[in-house]
Chain A
Amino acid sequence: MIKRIKIVVIGFGSIGRALAKVIALKRKTINNKYGILIDVVGVVDSKGMALKADGFDEYELLKLCEVPRSGVNLFKPYAYQGVDLDVLYNSTQPDVHIELTPSEYSSGEPGISNIIYAINRGVHVVTANKAPLVLKYREIMSSALSKGVEIRFRATVLGGTPFIDTLMSLRSHDIERIEGILNATSNFILTEMHEKLVDFNEALRMAQALGVAEANPTLDVDGVDAAAKMVIISNILEKPLKIEEIYRESISRVTLRDIIDAVRQGYIIKSITFFDVRGGKASIKIVKIPKSDLFAQINGIMNGVRIRSDATEIVFIGRGGGGIETAHSILDDVISIALHYS
Chain B
Amino acid sequence: MDSRRLCVIKIGGSLLRDSKSYLESAQKIREVFIENGYKTIVVVSAVKGITDKLIQVAKGSQEALRYVSEKYLEIAKELNSVKIIRRVDEELKRLEIVASAISGGGIDLSLYDLLLSFGERISKILMVGALEAVGVSALELHANELIVTNETFSDASIDYISTSANLEKLYSSIIDNPAIPVIEGFIGSTIDGRITTLGRGGSDYTATTIASLLNIDAVYLVTDVDGIMTTDPDIVENARLVRVMSYRESLEAALHGAKKINPKAFEPLEKFYSSKLIIGSWSRFGTEIVREISRDLWGPKVIMNRESQGVSYIAIVGEGTSSIPFIRRVLEIIDRNGIDIVGIQSYVYRPSLLVYVTPSYELKILRLLHKELFEGV
Contacts and interface: CB of A to CB of B under 8 A. Distances in A.
A300 B172 CA distance: 34
Contacts of A62: 139-140, 173-174
A262 to B, nearest CB: 21
B310 interface: no
A68 B86 contact: yes
Interface string A51-65: 000000111001101
Contacts of A63: 139, 179
A66 B101 contact: no
Interface string A23-36: 01100100000000
A205 B174 contact: no
A322 interface: yes
A129 B108 CA distance: 33
A199 B174 CA distance: 46
A202 interface: yes
Interface string A197-214: 010001001101111000
Nearest to B169: A25
Interface string B297-316: 00000000000000000000
A87 to B, nearest CB: 23
Contacts of A209: 97-98, 100-102, 111, 114
Contact of A68 (B83, B98, B170, B179): B83
A208 B173 contact: no
B49 interface: no
Interface in B130-186: 139-140, 169-170, 172-174, 177, 179
Interface string B69-98: 000000000000011001101100010011
For the complex, would chain B's binding face be called helix, strand, loop or mixed by DSSP majority?
A: helix
A205 B177 contact: no
Contact of B114 (A24, A66, A69, A210): A210
B128 interface: yes
Nearest to B170: A25
A74 interface: yes
A12 to B, nearest CB: 14
A59 B179 contact: yes
B359 interface: no
Nearest to A75: B83
Contacts of B94: 211
A28 B110 CA distance: 35
A278 interface: no
Interface in B315-339: none
B90 A205 contact: no
Given A59-B139, A66-B87, A71-B83, A24 B173 contact: yes
Contact of A205 (B100, B128, B179): B100
B104 interface: yes
User: Which of under 10, 10 to 19, 20 to 34, or 35 or more describes the interface residues of A?
Assistant: 20 to 34
Interface string A222-247: 00000000000000000000000000
Nearest to B100: A205
B86 A71 contact: yes
Max chain A Cβ within 10 angstroms of own Cβ: one of B125, B140, B173? B173
B376 interface: no
B233 interface: no
Contacts of B83: 66-68, 71, 74
A171 interface: no
Contact of B177 (A59, A67, A68, A208): A59
B84 to A, nearest CB: 9
A206 B87 contact: no
A58 B102 contact: no
A326 to B, nearest CB: 13
Nearest to A62: B139
B82 to A, nearest CB: 6
B121 to A, nearest CB: 12
B173 A28 contact: yes
A63 B141 CA distance: 10
B82 A205 contact: no
B193 interface: yes
B26 to A, nearest CB: 16
A69 B90 contact: yes
B149 to A, nearest CB: 17
30 contacts: A24-B173, A25-B170, A25-B173, A28-B172, A28-B173, A57-B177, A58-B177, A59-B139, A59-B179, A62-B173, A62-B174, A66-B83, A66-B139, A68-B83, A68-B89, A68-B90, A69-B86, A74-B82, A196-B108, A202-B105, A205-B101, A206-B101, A206-B108, A206-B111, A209-B97, A209-B98, A209-B101, A209-B111, A210-B114, A210-B194
For the complex of A and B, list the 4 residue pairs with the smallest distance between their C-beta atoms, beginning with the closest: A209-B101, A68-B86, A59-B177, A205-B101
Given A57-B177, A65-B140, A322-B193, 8 more contacts: A58-B173, A62-B173, A62-B174, A66-B139, A74-B82, A206-B101, A209-B98, A210-B114
